[in-house]
């Protein structure tokens, strides 16, 4: 199985020696959390299909996860719990994946371009069409609202019923 990181790179990044089995397990987990698979990021010749920064972050996340797996041998067999209270010591997890994902791997994954929070600002249209209908049932008149600051005063709107179309 191909992986973003190698055993040597894992040793360089973390100072911890890992086995190929741990590296393969880490690769599978990072693919799951990153929502991308290795084949989508590197072509058959080993050329990157994504940006260098994202590729480096995936490499680091895989290395950190592989090193973390060596200290957590029960990773794939433990049960999920919300909190621990034993002998007066109370422990609550910081996030839902704290038992599954290495802290440094989580940081690397959060910095991927497709994992960052993105703000989408939607401005209201200045050219909405509004139907003005009088309460007394007289004819409707179509007009465009050019700006919300030119709206009628409450006294002017007192006898109007508004419908948006």
Q: Look at residue 165 in the predicted model and tell me its pLDDT.
A: 45
Q: Look at residue 151 in the predicted model and tell me its pLDDT.
A: 55
Each domain of the chain, given as residue ranges in start order, spans 7-110, 128-164
**pLDDT tens-place string over residues 94-136:** 666 777 888 899 999 999 988 877 677 776 666 555 554 544 4
CA neighbor of 98 nearest in space, from 122, 82, 77 = 82
pTM of the model: 0.63
Residue 119, Cβ density class (10 Å: 0-12 exposed, 13-18 middle, ≥19 buried): exposed
- List of the chain residues with pLDDT < 50: 132, 134-136, 143-147, 149, 164-165
């Amino acid at each position: 199985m191909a992986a973003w990181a190698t055993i040597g790179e894992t040793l360089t990044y973390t100072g911890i020696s890992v086995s190929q089995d741990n590296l393969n397990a880490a690769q599978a987990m990072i693919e799951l959390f990153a929502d991308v698979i290795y084949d989508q990021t590197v072509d058959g010749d080993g050329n990157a299909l994504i940006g260098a920064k994202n590729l480096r972050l995936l490499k680091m996340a895989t290395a950190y996860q592989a090193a973390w797996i060596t200290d957590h041998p029960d990773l794939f067999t433990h049960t999920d719990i919300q909190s621990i209270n034993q002998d007066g010591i109370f422990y609550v997890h910081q996030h839902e994946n704290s038992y599954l994902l290495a802290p440094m791997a989580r940081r690397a994954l959060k910095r991927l371009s497709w994992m960052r929070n993105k703000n989408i600002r939607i401005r209201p249209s200045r050219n909405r069409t509004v139907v003005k209908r009088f309460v007394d049932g007289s004819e409707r008149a179509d007009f465009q609202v050019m700006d919300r600051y030119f709206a009628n005063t409450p006294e002017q709107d007192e006898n109007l019923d508004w419908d948006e179309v």
